[in-house]
Amino acid sequence: MASNSPAPEGIDVQEAPGAGAWGEWNPTEDSARSLRGKHRVLKPRGGLARSSTVLGVGVIAAVGAGGIATAQDRPQVAISMPSIPDLLGGGDHSGEAAAQADSAGVPRQADAQHGQQAVQTQGHPDAGEALRHRILQQAESQQDAAESQARADAERVARESAAQEARSQKEAADKEAEAVRAAAEKAAAEKAAADRAAAAQAETKGAADTGSGGGPTVKSSGGWSLPTSSYTLTSHYGDSGSMWSSGHHTGLDFAAPTGTPVKAVGGGKVVSAGWSGAYGYRIVLQLADGTEVWYCHLSSMAVTSGSVGAGETIGRVGATGNVTGAHLHLEVRKGGSTVDPLAWLTARGLDV
C-alpha cells in the first residue's frame, strides 16, 4: 500500500513491486526465522515525534518487502508438525533440538533452557495412562460398593426369613397348645358328665335299697347300715406306705364314683363337719356309745349338725384333700384311738 507521507529517517523503504513481480512466495529458514534478542527503537530526530504505531507499520513493511524479494531466489522448504509424543514430552529430542538450534544460530542459552524443559517434561506421567488408572479405580470402587450392597441385601433377606420362620413356628405352637387345652377341657367335661351320671345311678340304686320310711338300707342288720354303695375296697386298715403321714393306713377306703351317697352307719349326731386338711371335707358322726365314725374326702356335705338315723344320707363321695382318686375314707375311733373299720362293721352283722 502506497503512502504520500515522507518516510521516517533511518528506514530504507523500497517501492513494493506489482502483483506480477511477486510470483509465488516460499519462505526459507532465513526469512521465516523469528526475530530474537533486543530490538532497537530509533529516537525521534529534528523535532519529529514518531508514535509506536507508525514505527511498527514501517518495520513490518520493510521486513515484508525484503522477505518477498528474497523468497523469489530461494528453494522451497518443507514445513513439518511435531508428533503427539513430542507434544506430550515423550522421547529424548535434546540432541535434535540442539542441532536445529545450531543450524538456526540460536544461542546456547536457549539450548540449555530447551533441554531443561525436555527433562522436566519427561518427568511427568503419561496423561492417558493416568486417566486409564483413574477410570479403573472408579470402576473397582463402584463394583465394591455394588457387592457390599448385595451382601447387605442378602443379610437383610436372611434376617427377615428367619423372623418369619420364628413367627410361623410360634403360631403353630400356639395352635397346638390351644388344641391340647381344648382336648383337655373336653375330656374334663366328659368325665364330669360321667361322674354325674354315675352319681345319679348310685342315687337311684340307693333309693331303691332304702325303705319308704327312709330307714336303713337293704344291707343292714339290727339298725346298722353300710356307709355307701357301688364301691370297691382298695386300702385296708394298717396298710403301710409313704402316702400316709403316720406310716400306715388308719381307715378303710371305699372307692366309688364322685357323688355317690354317703350314709350314717348308725343312729347318732353330727358333731363336726367341714374342711380338715389332708382329710378334705370331713363329717364326724358320734354314736350313742361315744364311738366316732369319720367320713373323709367328701365332695359335698348334706348334714353338718344334728341327729341322724342309720342309713340317712349325710354327704357324697369325693376326692378332696390328699387323695389319688374319688373314694370314701372311713375311720372308726374309740376313746381317741383308731380301730379296724372292717372288723367293726363285720361285728355288727354287715357284709362289707
Q: Name the grid cell of 79.
A: 514445513
User: Tens digit of pLDDT per residue, the chain (352 long)?
Assistant: 444 545 444 444 444 455 445 555 566 656 555 555 555 555 555 444 444 554 555 555 555 545 554 445 555 555 555 555 554 554 455 555 545 545 544 445 545 455 555 444 454 557 888 888 889 999 999 999 999 999 999 999 999 999 999 999 999 999 888 888 888 888 878 877 777 666 666 555 555 444 433 333 335 556 899 999 999 999 889 887 666 666 688 899 999 999 999 999 999 999 999 999 989 999 999 999 999 999 999 999 999 999 999 999 999 999 998 888 999 999 999 988 999 999 999 999 998 8
The Cα–Cα gap between 335 and 289 comes to 10
Q: Where are the beta strands (DSSP E) in 280-321?
A: 281-287, 292-301, 306-308, 313-317
Question: How many residues are listed for the chain in this entry?
Answer: 352
The Cα–Cα gap between 43 and 203 comes to 156
- CA distances (Å), origin 29, targets 47, 79, 206: 39, 10, 151
- Say which DSSP state 289 is in: T
**296 within 8 A of 279, measured Cβ to Cβ:** yes
Q: Name the grid cell of 302.
A: 348334706
Full DSSP string of 165-185 = HHHHHHHHHHHHHHHHHHHHH
**318 within 8 A of 298, measured Cβ to Cβ:** yes
Q: Whole-model pTM above 0.85? A: no
b/e burial code for range 52-85 (CB count within 10 A of at least 16 → b)? eeeeeebeebeeebebbeebeeeeeeeeeeeeee
Residue 259 exposed, middle or buried by CB count within 10 Å (0-12, 13-18, 19+): buried
Residue 217 CB contacts under 8 Å (≥ 6 apart), including other chains: 206, 209, 210, 225, 226, 229, 263, 311
The Cα–Cα gap between 205 and 266 comes to 20
